[in-house]
Chains A and B, each alone.
Chain A
Amino acid sequence: MIGMIGMMGVVLASAASAVGDVLTSEAMYQSAMRFAIVLGFAAVGEWIAERAGTLNISIEAMMIGGAYSSAVAWGAFDNVPIALAIGVVAGVVVSLVQAHLSHQLSIDQFVVGLTLNLFVLGLALFLDSRWEAVTSVVKPTKVPLLHDIPLVGEALFGQPWPMYLIVPIVPLAWWLVFRTRWGLEIRSVGDNPQSADVSGIHVNRRRREAIMVAGACAGLGGGVLVLGQISIAGYEAGHVGLKGIIAIAAVIFGGWTLRGTLIGCVLFGYFFALQQTLPVLGYRINAQLAASLPYIVALLVTAVFATRTRQPRALAQPFVRGLT
């Protein structure tokens, strides 16, 4: 523990000296925004699943499924919308497994989630060795004039177009949860499933649906990751690299509010970008340390922000009728 804090100190000190460079680096903003957006897709989905009462750790598996499938489909069809759609389908397929095992067959959601995370990771590796997915990155769409804004112009208005899908998805998610009957029921099953049940709501059905929405979002996030993210040609092992888990941390950081969750995504996106950008800016830090930076931050953040008062009261509690 002390060692870790020491490491953090070194990192922060070097980060402090680099602050000036980082703040004036256009690439840094661009990279941070990309990470934040990719995290955002998964985090929005995870937020909905958690509001319905599932701490859906297989969000990672859903992202991996989406990423690999999108990459393969991109190679096969050379069509971005189709590739993304197939990524969504893959995310939903994984979510169907999670939803039905945990909320129909009543298997512990964490056991299912952990198993899925390992299984899908392994499956994607295996399949990748057979059908290697080759991708090139979608060219950035530059919004005229706006992308010329200094520093943040490229980050906000010069991204590959799939990144912008986050723009309709966030308000849509908010509207679904807070302005529809489905959303009301989602919130009720996450907070007090017994009450929801006697009110005539199918608790586990709603929870399954919420997990599927999470699967769709995470699958899309995975797709955007491989198609619009970084100049890596094709799906690689560890491409998703626990970003799903970081998305969970973002939800916790955000206190189970949508706005807070998005702020969390930007925060973690920043640290992911730091790891990429610092070497480019000429700062030498231990590569392993740099790579672990977002996760260390996530650990600290969840330790501080994971308070019971703000979470849905039935989070991670299975629902069985008659158990009051």
Chain B
Amino acid sequence: MEGAGASALAPAVRLTGVTKRYGPVVACAGVDLELLPGEVHGILGENGAGKSTLMKILIGLVQPDEGTVELGGREVVIHDPQTAAELGIGMVHQHLSLVEALTVWENVLLGDASKFDRSAARRQVMETADHYGLEIDPDRRVGELSAGLRQRVELIKCLRRDPKILILDEPTSVLTPAESEQLFTTLRDVVAAEQRAVALVSHKLAEILHATDCITIMRQGRVVERSRTVEATAPALAKAMVGRDVSLRTSAAAFGAIDLIDQGTAADQALRAERDEAAAAVAASDRAARPVVLTIDRARLVRDGVTVLDDLSIEVRAGEIVGIAGVEGNGQRELGDLLSSLVTLDGGSVSVNGTTARTGRAGCMADLGIGVIPEDRHDSGCVLDMSVAENLMLDRIDSTARMGLIDRKRMRARAVELMREFDIQAAGPDAPFGSLSGGNQQRVVLARELGHRPTVLVAAQPTRGLDVGAIEYMSNRLRAAADSGIAVLLISTELEEILALSNRIVVLSRGRAIGELDRREATSERLGLLLGGVGIDEPTGASA
């Protein structure tokens, strides 16, 4: 043990020259990083910048190829999460580490080495919860909890082990603004009062600026900049992170950092906004004259006794983007499933240009000209083991086949065409889909759906997990799709994304459309009220 003065300065964690390769891809290239006790250290970077890999190394899920990890000045090797826990490293995972079938206290106990004692465990959960002001019922099943409450459980699970180092990986991706705010308040306590070292991994500029003491920016596996948060500005961070100037309006909207950036050029922005507004008004009246393409009429869907779509009616006209806003778990997923031909309605109908779909039959929506960018591209958007070309042609293999045999030459040629048109970065049409970055994978899905010339395009959380460049690209593509006359239905839980793209906004709550606003009358406040009108903390039976 060193002297008190020295240990206050000594980093809790020091990574030196950490390198990790996945085949030819270098995820981390000689990264140096120090986490100090009593500080929230923001780690900022686009997707694929290497920040998640770095954290996985700390938590023992990934072994570095080179470099050393020191804890409190002592070099350690972290074989697995168990070792990490013993060394006092705790992590709140992006895709939480909870088991839905277990209760809160069972989850908190999971992976522990302590004695298995139900009443003691429940008491401890409640004590920890009390201590940090994270109220929770220890006997609830985690599967019944909302995203915000689940993260609360995750945090309690982590803090109960009294970690010296706490890692949060994209902690707010599923939280409402209020829940995020509460999380950061708790973090402040944890850091200030208990001298823990916190690493906050995020690609949201706003929350990095709001919640951290110092910032490390990563790009392509390298640390490109370090700064104290007080000296940092959003545009500078964005630029360092992306490595080029991005259209700040688009990216800022996607980041949720629009307030921060707008301050500098308020007058300019106001002027532009006014111009936009005038143009939008003209465009809106123009759009209103266009025919309704997609009609969802009193759609009703009951799953496991819970009404997840409740007389939901939505109309989308040709050439407009209708945004479906709402707190996650209010029927968005079911709406996406419905339009992907995955579920059979219990009532109501879906029709395109007057033709009604026989819901639930495989391909019924695609036959009507509905293209879908699904919420989870890994789960339902593509086949990871197949090549890029195969994924591009997956749902219309007929067009490249002769008498039931695939014409590979034609398939490849068509794929190359699409790859060029949509700027898909891959080794070639035969590259395995799994080797592509997230943004490029999403482009493949987009290219496939748009390559169809659909009449309706459904985009469910199209930018989730993407980096700034990819978000900008996706946004532009969606706008272009609408301009070409496609009816676009945008389902997103990112309010900023909805505001940035939609012409009309429908707010979903408990599977019901509880409000419909024109973009011009939709302020964050009005939307916020609609969202909040249903109690944000305990939404919907959809997740139960």
Chain A positions near chain B (C-beta within 8 angstroms): 179-181, 184-185, 187-188, 191-192, 194-202, 309, 312-313, 321-322, 324
Contacts and interface: CB of A to CB of B under 8 A. Distances in A.
Given A195-B98, A201-B111, A322-B62, 4 more contacts: A179-B116, A191-B101, A195-B110, A196-B110
Interface in B442-464: none
Contact of A312 (B81, B85, B101): B101
B100 interface: yes
Contact of B304 (A191, A196, A309, A312): A309
Contact of A188 (B61, B62, B95, B102): B102
A324 B95 contact: yes
Interface string B498-524: 000000000000000000000000000
Interface of B: 59, 61-62, 80-82, 84-85, 91, 93, 95-102, 106, 109-112, 116, 118, 157, 304
A115 B116 CA distance: 38
Given A199-B110, A201-B110, A194 B81 contact: no
Contact of A321 (B61, B91, B106, B157): B61
A6 B97 CA distance: 51
Contacts of B112: 181
Given A192-B98, A313-B100, A199 B61 contact: no
Contact of B116 (A180, A188, A200, A202): A180
Contact of B100 (A191, A197, A199): A191
B109 A187 contact: no
B95 A199 contact: no
Contacts of B95: 194, 324
Given A201-B110, A321-B61, A195 B96 contact: yes
A191 B99 contact: yes
A85 B445 CA distance: 58
Contacts of A197: 61, 81
A85 B102 CA distance: 35
Contacts of B106: 184, 188
B99 A187 contact: yes
B111 A200 contact: yes
Contacts of B97: 194-195, 198-199
The 6 A-B pairs of least Cβ separation, nearest first, read: A199-B111, A200-B111, A181-B116, A200-B82, A200-B81, A198-B97
Contact of B61 (A179, A181, A322): A322
Nearest to A193: B99
A181 B113 CA distance: 9
Contacts of B84: 200
A184 B81 contact: no
Contacts of A312: 101
Nearest to A324: B95
Contact of A196 (B109, B111, B116, B118): B111
